[in-house]
Amino acid sequence: MLERLGKYEILEAIAAGGQGTGYRARDSESGDVVALKVMHSGHTGEVQYLEALRQEANLASRLDHPNIVKVFDFQVEGGTIYVAMEYVPRVLRGEMQPGTPLSPGRAVELAIQVASAMAHAHQHGVVHRDIKP
């Protein structure tokens, strides 16, 4: 497992997906706990992919909404691409159980929050591409 990326001390792996692996990490300068998304190495040589990620991180860093994760940093170090984001320990995934539907009221609450976040992003010229609970 990774131990450090730039100014970030890796604390634990928290997720894995098609684009990369997520880690809980500590910013050694501020002491803040952040989420690091470390991209899989297969795309590091693709200039177009790297620029798209950089632009997406730059646009996302400008958004300020309670239902949008804040983006703090985008870095490429030694062929490793990573994004530092707000760490949100309580996610909707913990509320949802396979085979157990949400109550209609809760589903509506969540839909309103998602719609509000998407509207905010759209108002700032950001088209959503990666909506997560």
What residues are labeled active site?
130
Rounded to whole angstroms, the Cα distance separating 76 from 47 reads 12
The rounded distance, in Å, linking the Cα atoms of 93 and 61 is 24
Token pair for residue 101? 């539907």
What span, in angstroms and rounded, lies between the C-alpha atoms of 108 and 123?
Answer: 22
- Main-chain dihedrals φ then ψ at residue 24, nearest 5 degrees: -90, 130
DSSP 9-65: EEEEEEEE-SSEEEEEEEETTT--EEEEEEEPGGGTT-HHHHHHHHHHHHHHHT---
